[in-house]
Amino acid sequence: MSDSKRIIFTQFSLFSFLLSGHYGGTLSIADVKKLGNMAIATMDRLDGEMQMIDGVVYQACADGHVYLPADDATIPYGTIADFRAEQSVKIHDVPSYEAFEDQMAACCPMDNYPLAIHFTGAFKRMKVRAVARQEKDGIGLAEAAKDEAIFDLQNTSGDLVGFRLPGYVKGVNAPGWHLHFVDTERRHGGHVVNFSLIEGDLRTCYANDFQIRLPDDPSVLAGLDLAKDWSHDLKKAEAER
């Protein structure tokens, strides 16, 4: 990572906001696009998994389809990158998510810096999920995640994007890896559960400026217990990973 350039990742809202069961969107897709060219997020009311790839936003829903949300659609939470590739490598024959993590630990060892990745290529298997729309607040994310659709895609190709975040983001985000996928035809996608990678091109980008943007309306976070230890809820919500 060069000290001469400033690469910004923006965290919108707090993960504890979702874990506590608040799902109303407050940041528009138009504003997301102003903050960067790559992102992963959830849509308003948890209605699908959002991924922005090269400035285009895709909404992968529990009905198994991928949509292009309007600029006035909103997100309650997400991570956005001003993605400018610092490293580009070819990788192949990665049998699982865990093996990918191991390879990335060697490829990108600076684990105290937020890292964004964009992989384009072929997969033997891609298992993704999408949470169904939640009409009411108050159901914690761990419970809401039970109402999700799982898609096990075979012999597919597409774009894998997401982040590896350091442990100090706990409460603001979930430490570790969080990846989303959309296939080449832009018909299937979601939050990545597991995958087997055949081959493709990986681009990586570290942030040297990690910003937190809170919702403009102070009532959105009013009453939220930010001192609570959400570790148990986080583990339940991410149990499949």
176-218: per-residue pLDDT in tens?
999 999 999 999 999 999 999 999 999 999 999 999 999 998 8
**SS3 call for 93:** strand
**If pLDDT is split at 50, 70 and 90, which confidence band does 230 have?**
low
CA dist., res. 105 & res. 110, Å (int)? 8
What's the confidence (pLDDT) of residue 140?
Answer: 82
pLDDT higher than 60, residue 126: yes
pLDDT of residue 143: 83
Number of C-beta neighbours around residue 65 at 10 A: 14
pLDDT on residue 154: 98
Longest dimension (CA), the chain: 49
Q: What's the pLDDT score for residue 239?
A: 53
Which residues face 204 on adjacent strands? 87, 117
Q: By the 8 A CB rule, do 50 and 68 touch?
A: no
> What is the pLDDT confidence band of residue 234, given thresholds at 50, 70 and 90?
low
Strand partners, 90: 201
Q: Residues 167-173: what's their mean pLDDT?
A: 91
Flag the least confident range among 12-21, 53-62, 91-100, 182-191. Answer: 12-21
Segment 165-179 mean pLDDT: 94
237 — pLDDT class (breaks 50, 70, 90): low
In this prediction, residue 147 carries a pLDDT of 79
Average pLDDT over every residue of 171-178: 93
CA proximity to 238, closest of 203, 188, 191, 169:
191
* The CATH classification of domain 8-237, taken from the options 3.10.20.340, 3.40.50.720, 3.30.1330.80, 3.30.70.20: 3.30.1330.80
Place 4 in a pLDDT band, splitting at 50, 70 and 90.
Answer: low
The DSSP code for 238 is T
Phi, then psi, of 5 in degrees rounded to 5: -125, 150
Q: What dihedral angle (degrees, nearest 10) is formed by the CA atoms of 157, 128, 126, 167?
A: 100
Task: Concatenate the DSSP letters of all residues of 37-85 into one string.
Answer: SEEEEE-GGG-SEEEEETTEEEEE-TTS-EE---TT-EESEEEEE----
10-46, pLDDT tens digit by residue? 999 998 888 888 899 999 999 999 999 999 999 999 9
> Does the pLDDT at position 172 exceed 70?
yes
pLDDT the model gives residue 18: 87
Q: What is the pLDDT of residue 1?
A: 53
Confidence of residue 166 (pLDDT cuts 50, 70, 90): very high
Closest to 84 measured CA to CA, from 162, 7, 10, 32: 7
Structure tokens given for 60: 């992968």
Length of the chain: 241
When the pLDDT of each residue in the chain is averaged and rounded to a whole number, the result is 92
> What is the mean pLDDT of the segment spanning 230-240?
62
Domain range annotation of the chain: 8-237
